[in-house]
Amino acid sequence: MTVQQRDVHEHLIRVLTEEGRLLGELEGVLHRETDVLRGEDSQAIARIGENRHQYVDTLSRLDAEVASTCRMLSFGAGPQAMARLLDWADPSGGLRARWSKNLEITRRCKAINDLNGTIVAAKLGRVQQLLRKLRGSTTPPVYSARGVRYGGLGSRDLGRA
C-alpha cells in the first residue's frame, strides 16, 4: 500500500482546519476564564476549567494524530517533522500558512493561560495568608518527609462550642 501525497494533503487540511477552529474557541474560553477568575464564583471557576480541559484534550488528540502521521511516513518527530511533512505534502505552501496561523493562536492561548495561572496563584496566596492569620501563625504549615506536621507552628485554640 502506498500513501498518496494528495490523501495526506487532504488529511492535513482537515486536521489543521479543525485545530484552528478549536484553538480559536479555546482562546475565547481562556478570555472568559480570566473574567471568571477575577470574580469570586467558585462554581463558575470549576465549570470554565472543565470546559478548557475538553478543548485541551481534543487538541492533544489532534496533535497525536499529526505526530503519528509524521512517524508513519518516516518524517520523524517534533516541529521539524511537521515542517518536513508539509514540504512533502504541500509544495505550494498553503498548509504551512495555516499551520503558522495555528501556532500564533497557540502562543496567544499560552499567554492568556499564563495570566490565568498568575491570577490563581495570587488568589491561592491570599487564601494561605488568611489561613495563617486565622491560625495565629506567620509561619506556613510545613510537613516532614513522612507527611507529619512539624510542631511549634503557632497552633492555638480558636474557641469552644
Rounded Cα–Cα distance for residues 115 and 30 (Å):
10
User: Where does 1-158 show beta strands of DSSP type E?
Assistant: none
Rounded Cα–Cα distance for residues 130 and 136 (Å):
10
Among candidate residues 55, 35, 59, the one with its CA nearest the CA of residue 45: 35
Task: Summarize pLDDT for 81-111 with one digit per residue, the tens.
Answer: 999 999 999 989 899 999 999 999 999 999 9
pLDDT, mean over the chain:
86
Which of 2-6, 21-25, 75-79, 101-105 is predicted with the least confidence, judged by mean pLDDT? Answer: 2-6
Q: Are 82 and 103 in contact (CB under 8 A)?
A: no
Task: Summarize pLDDT for 107-158 with one digit per residue, the tens.
Answer: 999 999 999 999 988 888 888 888 877 877 655 556 666 666 655 545 556 6
Share of the chain above pLDDT 90, in %: 55
Tell which wins on pLDDT, 76 or 142: 76
| Terminal C-alpha separation, the chain | 78
